[in-house]
Structure 1
């Protein structure tokens, strides 16, 4: 298999399946830090405190309507 010159640029671009330069360049390697290899580290501890924080933030929006509905239902049953 012989390569040919690119007619637009006049440069040799390699044979089929080997386009570009013969040696690889700009190879990116990725690694994971050892302290990032525990995806669930502290998840249970964080879940407890996050659940408490979210409950504390929403309790005043949820509880009063239920208390009012319970009082109205109780009043209707007694009447």
Structure 2
């Protein structure tokens, strides 16, 4: 038989690995014409408001640890500069 076999209720399709397979029941596929699709509908509007919404919900999880870490690093740098200065070495030498 050339051209394959088409039964009365459905068609034969090419399956995995080149095997002939019956169409699956209950599988529905929908398509939309390419000229009816909008690639970026409301892109700028959703980008601005979605970014603000995400930022608003996450800022309290990110900002406090960042502020604490930054303050700690700032204190450590200032303390290190002081201890390596002339006054800091004099203070450390007296103790």
Q: TM-score scaled to structure 2, two decimals?
A: 0.47
Q: Structure 2, unaligned stretches of length 5 or more? A: 10-29, 80-95
Equivalenced residue count is 55
How far the C-alpha of 1:32 sits from its partner, in A, is 4.5
Structure 1: gaps of 5 or more residues: 1-15, 22-29
Distance, in Å, in 2 between the alignment partners of 1:17 and 1:66 is: 68
SS of residue in 2 equivalent to 1:70: helix
Q: Which of the pair has the greater relative contact order for Cα pairs under 8 Å at 6+ separation?
A: 1
Q: Deviations over 1:13-64 (max 9, x none)?
A: xxx724227xxxxxxxx7749xx63242112211110000000000011011
Q: Secondary structure of the equivalent of 1:47?
A: helix
Which is strand-richer, 1 or 2? Answer: 2
Q: Which residue of 1 aligns with 2:5?
A: 17
Moved >2 Å (runs of 4+): 16-19, 30-33
With the length of structure 1 as denominator, give the TM-score of the two structures. 0.55
RMSD: 2.7
